[in-house]
Chains A and B, each alone.
Chain A
């Protein structure tokens, strides 16, 4: 029954829209009142490929998203662990403090950080953009990793040590595999949020860092569904690539391919 609901809703809410989007990117614009026709066209994709910067933009988007993701995990995992497994004064206050950036309008953050970024020499280059993308992503990662650690019994990690394993080994062989579901959620969120940033990228990147949204958004003003669909499809492929890359790194680290394992987590 549960499986049925899962597959049913996945089909309805994910599969059908995805298929429609792909079909749309190959069919011409249909206007209200016109008879239904099934013409095929490559115009959407031709427009997409017309801009010579498109592949550069995809590449830089991907690089920025990956750097943002790893910075997120690098800070989010220890922070989530501390918030979940340790007790200290002011813990709840700190937890609230760490989520506060989400309540800040992106514009305010960008304008506020701009001068600092210029001083640090990080404005107008991709690293600066990656760093500023941490503002809307890190709160989520910390939240997700904290709930991941909440589900992980601290004694499980002690048990690893009792069997003679050092901290790093326990992290690689027990923590990381058991946290993979949370890490996946964090990676998806981070990559998608990073790739959707227009304002932050535009201001801090100063027009020098051309990511996909920077090219993509001007097209929003047109009402050309076909072109938009082509962009969207291309855009949707990027997070998948990023997630595959993270999986690859995790596989190398843990020495096992976690996605295909039957062990229930």
Chain B
């Protein structure tokens, strides 16, 4: 078997003697996009910064096409990075921003031709002589992305690039980014805390929590078969019965009284919402043991005191593996 394109091997990072993350290992095939999901503060950004060379790993090895990169300075690594903010250089025009990296090694004429080609790709060629402040947040982030892509990095790191944008813009941009990454066949690691984004962009997802990769696999696989409570809570939509078993919330039912064939949990109906025609009940387990959203039929009525049971069909209870 040939070696993977990118290999991250047992990397750890300590900060003031505390583990930020430890023994992370994963690999990427050429052109593959890995989504890294997890709650904030679990070292996702730190991992990217270490890969980029802005910070250093405490231990571990990173290979690109079989060559270690950890001894290489940040500026010489074949890695590009897009930060949370667009970080366009405010004193340079859009075109100058895009060609900033190219100009280091290429003559101005060629850099400009290449820069215009890429600006056209993102539909911003009309803005080439504008300064960054004239662009909207989404446009700035697009410029930031092509500024990294134009250098054809072997690995592109995206650190929550949409998090500073409003929801409308995010939706528009992520589809667009996915298409661009595919077109350029760019191997990338995409960090997010939004699982919808993770599913949409990643060929594979890895769930990072409590300093370890809890699970990785195809987006649907991980969603359908979470391996533990953390993944069930962070990435999947699952009702966790106990340490060993769970049930996907799509199978849950709202019961006004206990029934055969169900494991029942007393709960309170908080309210309901509709999405794409489907009605969802927002349920609070009694004793405040968590909230769940479960699909319910549109015509199902609710007791006046709004108490009832979450019914977990016995047939759909699965064990964490």
Contact = CB atoms under 8 A, between A and B. Distances in A.
B132 A263 contact: yes
A156 B87 contact: yes
Contact of A165 (B92, B101, B147): B101
A249 to B, nearest CB: 17
Nearest to B159: A155
A261 B91 CA distance: 7
A86 interface: no
B89 interface: yes
Contacts of B83: 155, 159
Contacts of A161: 53-54, 74-75
A163 interface: yes
B81 interface: yes
Contact of B87 (A159, A169, A262): A159
Nearest to B129: A262
Interface string B69-96: 0000011100111010101011111000
Contact of A164 (B52, B76, B89, B131): B76
A164 B75 contact: yes
17 contacts: A156-B87, A158-B54, A159-B81, A160-B89, A162-B74, A162-B79, A162-B148, A163-B80, A163-B147, A164-B101, A164-B105, A173-B100, A177-B89, A261-B91, A263-B90, A263-B92, A263-B131
Interface in A154-210: 155-156, 158-166, 169, 173-174, 177-178
Contact of A262 (B74, B100, B131): B131
Interface in B91-141: 91-93, 100-101, 104-105, 131-133
A263 B88 CA distance: 11
B75 A263 contact: no
A262 B148 CA distance: 24
Q: Main SS of chain B's interface residues?
A: loop
Given A169-B104, A263-B132, A264-B131, A162 B80 contact: yes
Contacts of A261: 91
Interface residues of B, number: 27
Interface string A22-51: 000000000000000000000000000000
A265 interface: yes
Nearest to B104: A164
Contacts of B132: 263
Interface of A: 153, 155-156, 158-166, 169, 173-174, 177-178, 258, 261-265
Nearest to A154: B54
A153 B74 CA distance: 18
Given A158-B54, A160-B100, A163-B101, 20 more contacts: A155-B83, A155-B85, A158-B74, A160-B89, A161-B75, A162-B52, A162-B148, A163-B100, A163-B147, A164-B76, A164-B105, A165-B104, A166-B75, A173-B89, A177-B91, A178-B89, A263-B90, A263-B133, A265-B90, A265-B91
Contacts of B147: 163
B285 interface: no
A208 B54 CA distance: 52
Given A162-B81, A164-B104, A165-B101, A153 B87 contact: yes
Choose among B93, B104, B132 the residue with the greatest number of A CB atoms under 10 Å from its CB.
B104
Contact of B151 (A163, A258, A265): A163
Contacts of B76: 164
Contacts of A166: 75
Contacts of B151: 163-164
